[in-house]
């Protein structure tokens, strides 16, 4: 008859939880102070008035630990029915096996309540964990029946940006409808964000009170909201004109925005972890009150720059108790709390992580490696900063501006190229081919664009297409390059003809492709990640490519990469303006279906987009080569070394030929394996 302890989630974890060896890099007693930034979201679980909790944070920070601890706390202290949703049922089984079961086995109070792994009964399965007074059910987001099967008090949604819409609607909406009979319900959503305006977790964070964490400077005690681009700096080597010629990321550290003092790693760790941590969470959602619009973060910066003695107290009230702690925003005119806390939403990046691999020098190195690639910048924002990536608006992108940067190079193919791929678009009366040369880090040159007119149902036309694919291109020094792979569109009315053409040329890596059926803005991989098993010609099937993902990459490079280097697209001066118009004709359109926001690519009615399609297919051909073993940067280095060798005195005639020399027209494959 002893009542359960009246404690907060982090206090319960510190007192009762144990870490299993197989579930992570550490084991033994749980200590919330190790990753102190997690305390804010954990306290929100027992904060009075909170019914929705969103954590939009970077990878490997607090998301999984939060879900695990919520399960353990409620199974032990406050038993209720719980539902935990993963993107797919297989992921739910994996989460149960690798995270929940080890936690139960390692934590004595849970092991006594939630059965044994040695028995497999109705009370103990991978997707159902029973305990006195409640249960934990696990389900995949794509199974509406499992989501709507039972009433639950607590719903937990992991990796919500990976959920797909079902016939019955959004998984979060379906799951939360099962809480109708509970007054103390809680809906928890956790995920790293994706693209601004499309990310489901971003939308959930924005609808909440938008809590951000601050820390005190060890030198001046100024409280600041850490951000990589605002607070992290490192040494750079400059030339006489003041241009950066070298970066030194190992010197990266956080610098205080008030006093300018740099924090060494010891100072950073002292500020973000341990019992001496100065982390505090603040509501930062903009609000309107007393006829005025306020942005708490902007008001705070104005207050401390204006010399206010205690700028934090001027903006927020510290509201703390035995089971909650947060700075709630206060209206400066009426003194009320204009932002309620029913939906507590959190965001944090890896500057709050105590792990050595997330220290500022490591983050700076990652940024320098990723900054020139638009796709990698998305990864950096999502996984390191815990923020959605903001795409370029593309307002300055025009056919005329692209054409203005067209260039000429000596020879048919530039010196920096390592191989050539082709993208082919099939129409009823023609086939259009773009020949693209690829350099290091996917720098590209469009070296030829050919339109082959004729009836695509005739064998004669496909013989002319084959003649083009057998072409060779000469570099200025005479080095020849042939086509190493090609993707030919098999959609439309000429599917069988494309199949027959590609089946006969599999050894030359001529692939028939079709676009993936990507409903509701899904992004399939540009090249399928699983190698097809039906490579016999009698069982031939086309390769399904992720068109949306390819268009995302191409448009991002056009909009954001303006200098030669990784991802830059070089244009031949012989291209006509109409070709550039086709390259950028499609528009990114935001759609909302059942509360899910996503973008799709749409071509205006009556407009041609063959240039874009050909570039998508040429890019897919490159990804196909990479999938089957090509190491692009190594190939480019080998080609460059061969060019240098040709400029040197003649080598010994008895020396063996280079293993990478271009394959013959029959396509032996030795040139890239």
pLDDT higher than 80, residue 375: yes
**What are the tokens at 197?**
């305006």
Q: What is the 3-state secondary structure (H, E, C) of 525-566?
A: CCCCCCCCCCCCHHHCCCEEECHHHHHHHHHHHHHHCCCCCC
User: Residue 446 pairs with which residues in a beta bridge?
Assistant: 436
Domain boundary among 338, 368, 403: 338
Q: Please tell me whether residues 29 and 77 are part of one structural domain.
A: yes
Q: Please tell me whether residues 275 and 293 are part of one structural domain.
A: no
Q: Please tell me whether residues 108 and 37 are part of one structural domain.
A: yes
**Beta-carbon contacts of residue 30 (< 8 Å; ≥ 6 apart):** 13, 14, 17, 18, 19
Return the percentage of the chain with pLDDT > 90, whole number: 66
Dihedral (CA of 488, 490, 492, 497) sign: positive
Specify the pLDDT at position 394: 64
Beta pairing class for 134-140 and 128-131: antiparallel
Domain of 42? 9-207
Give mean pLDDT, residues 164-187: 85
Domain boundary among 152, 181, 207: 207
Residue 652, domain member (yes or no):
no
Q: Are 53 and 186 in contact (CB under 8 A)?
A: yes
Please state the φ and ψ torsions of residue 3, each to the nearest 5 degrees.
-70, 155
Specify the pLDDT at position 658: 38
How far from 140 is each of 75, 101, 136, 202, 521, CA to CA, in Å?
21, 18, 14, 21, 20
Specify the pLDDT at position 538: 54
Residue 398, domain member (yes or no):
no
Specify the pLDDT at position 653: 41
Residue with tokens 């291109």: 473
Q: Please tell me whether residues 385 and 509 are part of one structural domain.
A: no
Q: Please tell me whether residues 482 and 609 are part of one structural domain.
A: yes
Q: Please give the DSSP secondary-structure letter assigned to residue 467.
A: H
* CA–CA separation, 344 and 212 (whole Å): 11
CB hemisphere CA count around 534 (13 angstroms): 8
How would you classify residue 505: left for phi > 0, otherwise alpha for psi between -120 and 50, otherwise beta? alpha
Q: Please tell me whether residues 203 and 220 are part of one structural domain.
A: no
Residue 660, domain member (yes or no):
no
pTM above threshold 0.85: no
Residue 104, domain member (yes or no):
yes
Q: Please tell me whether residues 123 and 248 are part of one structural domain.
A: no
Mean pLDDT of the chain: 87
- Residue 491 DSSP SS3: coil
* CA–CA separation, 76 and 505 (whole Å): 64
pLDDT higher than 80, residue 662: no
Name which of 110-119, 534-543, 565-574 the model is least confident about: 534-543
Q: Please tell me whether residues 184 and 258 are part of one structural domain.
A: no
Residue 664, domain member (yes or no):
no
pLDDT higher than 60, residue 81: yes
pLDDT higher than 80, residue 293: yes
Q: Are 574 and 386 in contact (CB under 8 A)?
A: no
Q: Please tell me whether residues 243 and 154 are part of one structural domain.
A: no
Q: Please tell me whether residues 185 and 107 are part of one structural domain.
A: yes
Residue 665, domain member (yes or no):
no
Dihedral (CA of 333, 335, 336, 340) sign: positive
Residue 343, domain member (yes or no):
no
Name which of 198-202, 381-385, 559-563, 647-651 the model is least confident about: 647-651
Residue 673, domain member (yes or no):
no
Q: Please tell me whether residues 279 and 295 are part of one structural domain.
A: no
pLDDT higher than 90, residue 438: yes
Domain boundary among 174, 207, 240: 207
Q: Please tell me whether residues 277 and 244 are part of one structural domain.
A: yes
- Whichever domain contains 642, its CATH number is 3.30.420
**Count of structural domains, the chain:** 4
């Amino acid at each position: 008859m002893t009542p359960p302890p009246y404690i907060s989630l982090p206090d319960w974890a510190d007192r009762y939880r144990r870490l299993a060896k197989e579930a992570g890099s550490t084991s033994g007693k749980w200590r919330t102070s190790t990753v102190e930034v997690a305390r804010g979201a954990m306290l929100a679980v027992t904060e009075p008035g909170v019914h929705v909790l969103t954590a939009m944070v970077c990878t490997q920070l607090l998301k999984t630990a939060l879900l695990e601890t919520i399960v353990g706390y409620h199974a032990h202290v406050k038993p209720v029915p719980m539902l935990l949703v993963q993107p797919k049922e297989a992921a739910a089984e994996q989460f149960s096996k690798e995270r929940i079961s080890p936690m139960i086995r390692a934590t004595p109070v849970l092991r006594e309540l939630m059965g044994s792994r040695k028995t497999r009964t109705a009370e103990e399965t991978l997707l159902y964990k029973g305990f006195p007074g409640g249960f934990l059910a696990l389900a995949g987001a794509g199974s509406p029946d499992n989501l709507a099967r039972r009433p639950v008090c607590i719903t937990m949604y992991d990796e919500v940006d990976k959920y797909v819409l079902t016939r019955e609607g959004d998984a979060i909406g379906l799951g939360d409808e099962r809480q109708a009979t509970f007054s103390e319900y809680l809906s928890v959503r956790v995920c790293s964000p994706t693209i601004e305006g499309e990310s489901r977790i971003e939308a959930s964070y924005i609808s909440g009170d938008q809590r951000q964490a601050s820390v005190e400077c060890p030198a001046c005690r100024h409280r600041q909201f850490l951000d990589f681009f605002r607070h992290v700096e490192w040494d750079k080597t400059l030339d006489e004109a003041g241009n950066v010629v070298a970066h030194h990321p190992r010197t990266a550290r956080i610098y205080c925005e008030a006093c300018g003092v740099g924090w060494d790693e010891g100072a950073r760790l002292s500020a973000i972890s341990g019992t001496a941590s100065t982390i505090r969470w603040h509501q930062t959602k903009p609000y309107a009150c007393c006829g005025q619009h306020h942005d708490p973060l902007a008001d705070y910066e104005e207050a401390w720059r204006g010399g206010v003695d205690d700028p934090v107290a001027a903006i927020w009230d510290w509201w703390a108790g035995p089971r909650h702690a947060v700075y709630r925003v206060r209206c400066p005119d009426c003194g009320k709390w204009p932002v309620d806390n029913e939906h507590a939403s959190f965001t944090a990046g890896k500057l709050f992580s105590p792990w050595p691999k997330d220290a500022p020098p490591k983050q700076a190195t990652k940024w320098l490696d990723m900054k020139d690639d638009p796709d990698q910048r998305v990864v950096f924002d999502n996984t390191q900063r815990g923020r959605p990536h903001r795409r370029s608006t593309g307002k300055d992108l025009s056919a005329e501006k692209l054409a203005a940067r067209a260039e000429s190079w000596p020879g048919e193919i530039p010196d920096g190229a390592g191989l050539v791929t082709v993208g082919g678009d099939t129409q009823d009366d023609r086939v259009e081919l773009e020949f693209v040369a690829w350099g290091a880090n996917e720098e590209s040159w469009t070296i030829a664009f050919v339109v082959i007119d004729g009836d695509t149902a005739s064998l004669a036309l496909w013989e002319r297409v084959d003649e083009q694919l057998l072409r060779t291109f000469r570099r200025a020094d005479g080095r020849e390059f042939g086509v190493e792979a090609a993707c030919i569109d098999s959609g439309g009315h000429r599917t069988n003809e494309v199949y027959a053409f590609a089946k006969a040329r599999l050894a030359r890596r001529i692939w028939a492709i079709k676009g993936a059926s990507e409903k509701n803005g899904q992004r399939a991989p540009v090249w399928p990640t699983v190698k097809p098993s039906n490579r016999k010609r009698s069982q031939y099937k086309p390769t399904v490519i992720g068109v949306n993902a390819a268009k995302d990459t191409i448009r991002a490079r056009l909009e954001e990469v303006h200098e030669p280097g990784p991802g830059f697209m070089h244009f031949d001066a012989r291209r006509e303006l109409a070709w550039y118009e086709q390259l950028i004709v499609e528009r990114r359109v935001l759609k909302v279906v059942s509360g899910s926001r996503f973008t799709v690519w749409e071509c205006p009615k009556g407009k041609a987009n063959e240039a874009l399609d050909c570039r998508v297919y040429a890019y897919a051909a490159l990804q196909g080569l990479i999938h089957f073993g090509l190491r692009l940067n190594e190939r480019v280095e080998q080609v460059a070394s061969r060019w240098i060798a040709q400029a040197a005195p003649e080598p010994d005639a008895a020396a063996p030929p280079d293993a990478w020399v271009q394959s013959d027209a029959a396509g032996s494959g030795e040139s890239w394996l």
